[in-house]
A = this chain, B = another copy of it.
Amino acid sequence: MPQIETEIPASHMPPSTKTAILVIGGAEDKVHGREILHTFWLRAGGSDAAIAIIPSASREPLLIGDRYQQIFEEMGAKFTKVLDIRDREQGEDPYFQEYIEQCTGVFLTGGDQLRLCGLLADTPLMERIRGRVQQGEITLAGTSAGAAIMGHHMIAGGSSGECPNRALVDMAIGLGFIPEIIVDQHFHNRNRMARLLSAISNHPERLGIGIDEDTCALFEKDGWLRVIGRGTVTIVDAREMSYTNQTEVGATEPISLHNLRVHILSHGDNYHLHLQKPVPKQ
């Protein structure tokens, strides 16, 4: 097992063009091909990667942090460290900040997205991660709860088995790494189309992104996302919506949404966030 240090030589940083943001729908393969986690490891620098695992969404942070640490070490990451943040004061810990300053990949585990935001939002640590991600210096990945927090608006909870209505989804503010999207995860697995539609009805200027389990929307810095993994990524684009009654109806009444554009993308398909354009696998 490689020794964990906070000092990482600058030469180990991957070229900034290789960084990306991986938004994972949960339950990614941790045993067999591990395609998604392997892609994260590669894009974080491969054998030169210095990875920070933040398990703070989970109520079993030691267990889950250790699991991912073992995986990335087995793949050959140079440095791995679990940042076991359990209170907001740790977001100011200089030791953690120093590691973030020099790492090449940050992985946010699953758990509860409200817990993750509550512990990390607006801390110096999170602001530094955000800055380095925006500069293209860090590859960021989040799975399940760690995916939910990617947008400015975040789905905090909700249910299924109903037509779109305001009470079907609980919204909160996310960590905003990709502010223009609203993410839903475990998407078709947990039948979440109606809850994503309910969320989008209130924020039609945002792009709804539903990600299935063991599936990843990999966001490149140039605005393209690419699908990897076993399921689909569903894009709900309401930017040309011609009508909704969302503001007029009661919380449990059905919501109308006219003229949505929907794309179901599978492995290898691409979509451009701003061109609003899907491109099939070549």
Contact = CB atoms under 8 A, between A and B. Distances in A.
Contacts of A278: 242-243, 258-259
A39 B154 CA distance: 41
A161 B263 contact: no
A62 interface: no
9 contacts: A163-B232, A163-B264, A163-B266, A231-B254, A243-B278, A255-B264, A258-B280, A260-B261, A260-B263
A159 B53 CA distance: 37
A281 to B, nearest CB: 8
Interface size class of A (residues with CB under 8 A): 35 or more
A37 to B, nearest CB: 19
B256 A264 contact: yes
Nearest to A260: B262
Nearest to A190: B161
Interface in A212-260: 212, 230-232, 242-243, 245, 249, 253-260
